[in-house]
Structure formats: C-alpha cells, structure tokens
Amino acid sequence: MPKVVTDIICPFCGTLCDDIECTVSDDNKTILSVKNACAIGAEKFNHQKLPGRVTRPRMRQADGSFKEVSYDEAIDWTAKMLVASKKTLMYGWASTSCQAMSIGHEIAEKVGGIVDNCATVCHGSSLIAIEDVGVPSCTLGEVKNRADRVIFWGCNPAHAHPRHMSRYSIFPRGFFTVKGHKGRKIYVVDCRYTDTAKCADTFIQVQQGYDYELLNAFRTAARGESLPDTVGGVPKEKIYEVVAELKEGRFGIIFFGMGLTHTMGRNHNIDIAINLTRDMNDFTKFSIMAMRGHWNVTGSGQVLGWQYGFPYAVDLSRRDQARHQTGETTSVDLLVRNEVEACFYIATDPGAHFPVDAMISSSKKPTVTVDPHINCTTEISDIHIPVAMVGVETGGCAYRMDNVPIETRKVVDAPEGMLTDEELLTRINKRVDELMAAGGA
C-alpha cells in the first residue's frame, strides 16, 4: 500500500513551505504524487524518479567521455586536488544542509579554500548592504499576522516564490490581519508590469536603473523636503501620496529581489532601501526582507557567518584567518582573474549561472562537482560525484528566507549505495587528513 508522508519541507525556494504531502510507493523508493507544492516545488520531488539518474561517480577520460568510478576513487582524486592546490574555490552550498556545510568548511580550513555560496550572484549585494548599515527585519509569520502595507520592489514572487503571496504576504488571514488581502495595501515597484503587479493596489513603474534615485526620493519625501517634478519616471505627487499611505500603516514590509540587487548600484539600492525602512520606523513599524532564492542559501550565510563572521566569499586560503571582500574573494572575480588553482562545486550549477568568461577559466582548472543530477557544470568537470537529494532522500537543517531554521525531512530512500553530502564530505575530510599527515601541503 502506498503511504502518505505529511508535513514535508519543500527544498526548492527560500519560502521553504512546510506543508507538502507526498504519496510514496510501498518499497519507499518512489514518490508517486505530490500535494500542496507549487509547480516548481513539485518538479523538485518528481526529479527523484527521473529515468537515467547517475548513481555512481563519473570521471572524465582523455577522449572527453565519462567513465564510472568508485566513490573511493573519486574521493581520493578530490582530496589530492584539494591538498595540492594553493587556493581552491569551494562554491555552491545553497542546496545542501547546514550539517554538510560545516564539514565542508572544516575541509576548507585545512586545504586553504575560499568558501562562497550562491549569494555571490544573487543577494550578495544585499549582504554587503547589511554589513554596511544593518537590517531591521522580521519573520514571515509576523508579516502574515501583522503587515498591512506590503511592498514588492524589483521582485516577482508570482513566478520565483509562487506560494509566498498565499502563505505570507498578500492573501492569508492572520491574527491582526483578519481581512486578508482586503486589509492590506499592496505596492509593486518594478520597471515591468509583472504578474505580481497584477495583485497590487498600486503599481509604480520606475525607469530601469533609477531605483536608487526613487528610494532617495521616498526618503526625501518622508522628511517633508521638496522633490523634482519626476524621479525615475514617477511623478512627485505619486511619491508623496505613497509615502503618506505607508506612514499611516500599522506594519509595513519591503520585499526585494534581483531588480534591486542586480541593477545599477547593487548594494547601494539595498542600503538606501534599508535606510528608508529605518526612516519609516519613526512613524510606524517597518521591516525589510530579501527574497532569497535557493532554499538553503540563507543557511550557508548563517553557518559561514556564525563560524567566520562573513556570510559569503569567505577566504580561508591563508588558513590562519578569514577574509572577505566582494570583488576579490567572490567566485566570479576569482575565476575571471585566475586567482584560484582548482574548483570544487557542490549543490549548485555555476555553469548555468556564471558569466561565460568565468566558466571558461573554470573549465581549464581541475574541477570536482558534487550534485544529484547532471547539469551544465558537471559537463565541464573532471569528476561528477552524485549524491542523495537533501530534503527528499535525506534530511538536514535549512534556513528560510527570514532566517528561521527548519529541519527538512527524508521522504524516500536514495538509490542503493548512494552517499549523502554529509557522508561524502566526511570521507573527503578523512582522506585530506591522511594525505596531510603523510606530508601533503
């Protein structure tokens, strides 16, 4: 009899929905159906049973083809690469558990690695802004129960975080928000009329690249100072009107995404948005939150922050100190400047997301990719080590976009004999110890 597993955490996006139900086959090997998840979340669970899954490590041969090798061989090759390299980029981590990360960091400390996560091409600029000016934030629960002024700035949850709006930000009825959508005023600021904008009471179309100026205008208006007639294509009357409405709210929240973090000015856009949030707290209660993408990218920042004081791009290459400089110790810069000798990728796909120049540089270096599936990066790696899917075939801790830790659950068994990230990293760590004891660098 197929059984139903309830209260599963969805390991796809930073919303980390915790109400997924799966029907699982008798032998505990196949997910038969998925309930409650959005389309992209359900797809993640369905991947588990895709035909043609790689279940053993593959090593590239001289003719460019891949040959299956044992886990032992792959682990030995990886450990030797890490020990030999003067500086290694250890990038990814956003789709694995915090437990696996901590083992990875232990390896990085020993071999002089630079640990970087997907924030580097995503919300890294938000993290810089937070380093510069701090952040007044809250949990998604508070948003659901209290927020009556909700701003989506440069983000489109309708597509990127599909259940965010129904679970937390627009539609749900909460303790102090009994009227649900009707009791909230929704604002969308974007250069395009997005599907999220369709749910908005007020859509503000900002000229591309003028977010910083518009946020500056909001702050200037909040202080009652004069403004030019239009800012970034938005008439000043509109700016004064919106600011007045925000001040009248009981609890406001700004959600922001790539439209702020990866348009002109990057961290400065977030910096000034945080400062607007701070200003609004002179009148009411206001918070701001990054719409984090990968389900556990927040966790990587948490673990790195807790261990080394920096949330991404942590340079441990000197082995006695942790350093961090966006523009220097960030993956793309390291690759483009040829500042590393080897690459270790885990739980992400830089081949699909990094600039071409960075990946051309990467393809010329010894590279190991650890990922449950074949992806763009595995195809330019020397070794691809498949592992169990975290959150589906093994559990582990993850952090939601509001920095709330949630323990993910195992739903089905991984294919026979397949290692988890934690098991694999533990064995690489042990092999590194052996090589170093035997006189490796």
Partner 1 sequence: MNTVTMNVNKIPELYFECENVNPDTFAGKKAAEIAALKGYQGKKISTLGEYFTITGDAGATAADTKIVINGDCTKMKYIGAKMSAGEVVVNSSTDMYTGSWMTGGKLLIKGNVHSFCGLAMKGGEFTVEGNAGNYLGAAYRGDWRGMSGGVLRVKGNAGSDVATFMIGGELIVEGDVDIHIGTHMEGGKIIVKGNANRRVGGQMVKGEIYVFGNINVMMPGYKYKDEVDLEVDGTKAKFIEYIGDLGERHPKKKGEMVYGKLYMKK
CB of 315 to partner 1, least distance (A): 9
- Region from 91-99, 163-171, 331-339, 361-369 binding partner 1, contact rule CB under 8 A: 331-339
- Region from 35-43, 123-131, 299-307, 352-360 binding ligand SF4, contact rule CB under 6 A: 35-43
Q: Does 271 bind partner 1 (CB under 8 A)?
A: yes
Q: Does 112 bind partner 1 (CB under 8 A)?
A: yes
- Region from 69-77, 177-185, 265-273, 394-402 binding partner 1, contact rule CB under 8 A: 265-273
d(CA 295, CA 170): 21
Within residues 195-224, the interface with partner 1 by CB under 8 A covers 210, 212-213, 216-220, 222-223
Q: Does 439 bind partner 1 (CB under 8 A)?
A: no
Q: Applying CB under 8 A, which of residues 324, 400, 409, 427 lies at the interface with partner 1?
A: 324
- Region from 79-87, 95-103, 143-151, 160-168 binding partner 1, contact rule CB under 8 A: 79-87
Within residues 135-194, the interface with ligand SF4 by CB under 6 A covers 161-163
Q: Does 410 bind ligand SF4 (CB under 6 A)?
A: no
Residue 268 interacts with which of partner 1, ligand SF4, none, CB < 5 to 8 Å by class: partner 1
d(CA 101, CA 118): 13
225 or 416: CB nearest partner 1: 225
Residue 351 interacts with which of ligand SF4, partner 1, none, CB < 5 to 8 Å by class: none
Q: Applying CB under 6 A, which of residues 8, 13, 411, 414 lies at the interface with ligand SF4?
A: 13
d(CA 25, CA 30): 5
d(CA 333, CA 336): 5
Q: Applying CB under 6 A, which of residues 21, 23, 32, 40 lies at the interface with ligand SF4?
A: 40
Q: What residue number has its CB nearest to ligand SF4?
A: 41
- Region from 93-101, 179-187, 241-249, 323-331 binding partner 1, contact rule CB under 8 A: 323-331
d(CA 13, CA 160): 8
275 or 394: CB nearest ligand SF4: 394
Q: Applying CB under 6 A, which of residues 24, 31, 34, 37 lies at the interface with ligand SF4?
A: 37
Q: Does 292 bind ligand SF4 (CB under 6 A)?
A: no
d(CA 422, CA 396): 9
